[in-house]
Amino acid sequence: MENFHEPVLLEESIAALNIRDGLVYVDATLGGGGHTRAILNTGKKIKLISFDQDEAAIEHCRNSFGENYDNLTLIHDNFSNFWTGVALQKIKKIDGILFDLGVSSYQINEPERGFSFSLDGKLDMRMNNKSERTAYEIVNKFTYEELKKIFFEYGEERESSRIAKGIIKERESKNIQTTLELADIIDRYTFSHQKLKAKARIFQAIRIYLNDEINVLTTALNDAVKILNPGGRLAVISYHSLEDRIVKQLLRFQEKVCICPPSFPQCVCNKKSTLRILTKKPITPKQEEIARNSRARSAKLRIAEKKEVE
Ligand SMILES: C[S@@+](CC[C@H](N)C(=O)[O-])C[C@H]1O[C@@H](n2cnc3c(N)ncnc32)[C@H](O)[C@@H]1O
């Protein structure tokens, strides 16, 4: 698997972590190991713990470079459990954590994973193949109301209602089995000229819902803030507006010193500011990176530093 995944915003995210000797770092989303390898190749004397909930990513990295580094630990788990994984290594605090969200090119390009609307595969879309429920259950068992809500909330698709109705109608005669069948239904029930975008949005919505990506991200970011040492760095690369909004709002909330309503004469909330945001605007890839790797197109990197909190 030569082209498992081309890392996005590589230089920028490694710089964001401010890697220094003697400290502990976490790569929450190992994927093809591009960022993990770059962290190790800084040559600093660090400990690195890298997570992925996809066994294929762990296997690939273990076989291609993992065994060459005795300061690297690979853990097959959801990053919402990263605190436990870190604690099992007898580590209490960390000094930097990177989240490079979403799916890897490997996952998209393997038809049987069911993430791509242009490759024929079963309706799967599980990031962790040990999970029981697949996209098939959502597409074939969920009600019109449930489908519409998922497409609207997680895909921000304007034609959610029409597409949900189309799915309900089509599955009356036979269950929808494959990615291409679903893609064809979206094509036929979308009126606008944005059929490609509609397919991307509906597939994204099902994937986010199925893998519980929003809750998992919120939990993990809150935990990351707690487990960082003062001066420690949190770096997050997101690929769509929904994810980026969560990251932006969470960082802003953590940075705030007070959350009392403006009408209060004095502060009573006792909120502490835990983070300093280092990117007022997110870092985006340079044109040459986008030209080389179209997946980088929508990437946004946000960085924050943990404050001293008494
Ligand atoms: C964009 S890729 C990361 C690519 C990686 N930075 C590289 O350079 O190759 C995202 C990876 O995160 C993993 N992932 C997504 N959500 C996860 C979660 N909640 N827990 C653990 N891994 C997750 C996916 O399985 C995928 O392999």
DSSP-derived 3-state class of residue 71: coil
Residue 232: how many CA atoms within 13 Å on its side-chain side?
22
Question: What is the Å distance from ligand 1's center to 124 Cα?
Answer: 17
| Domain-wise residue ranges, the chain | 10-106+214-306, 132-210
Cβ(309)–Cβ(226) below 8 Å: no
Rounded CA-CA distance 216/243 in Å is: 11
- Non-local (6+) Cβ contacts of 102 within 8 A are 238, 239, 240, 243
Rounded CA-CA distance 95/23 in Å is: 6
CATH number, span 132-210:
1.10.150.170
- For residue 1, name the pLDDT band (cuts at 50, 70, 90): low
pTM of the model: 0.95
pLDDT in tens, 39-90: 999 999 999 999 999 999 999 999 999 889 999 999 999 999 999 999 999 9
- What is the reported pLDDT for 129? 87
Q: Which of 13, 40, 65, 104 to mutate to test the pocket of ligand 1 (most atoms within 8 A of CB)?
A: 104
| Ligand 1: nearest atom to the Cα of 239 | 1
Is 3.30.450.40 the CATH classification of the domain at 10-106+214-306?
no
- What is the reported pLDDT for 193? 76
> Does ligand 1 have an atom closer than 6 angstroms to the CB of 51?
yes
| Ligand 1: nearest atom to the Cα of 10 | 8
**Per-residue 3-state assignment (H helix, E strand, C coil) for 104-152:** CHHHHHCHHHCCCCCCCCECCCCCCCCCCCCHHHHHHHCCHHHHHHHHH
- What secondary structure does DSSP assign to 229-293, as a single string? EEEEEEEEEE-SHHHHHHHHHHHHHHH-S--S-TT-SS--S-----EEES-SS-B---HHHHHH-
pLDDT in tens, 2-44: 578 899 999 999 999 999 999 999 999 999 999 999 999 999 9
Question: What is the Å distance from ligand 1's center to 237 Cα?
Answer: 11
pLDDT in tens, 90-112: 999 999 999 999 999 999 999 99
Question: What is the Å distance from ligand 1's center to 142 Cα?
Answer: 27
Question: What is the Å distance from ligand 1's center to 306 Cα?
Answer: 23
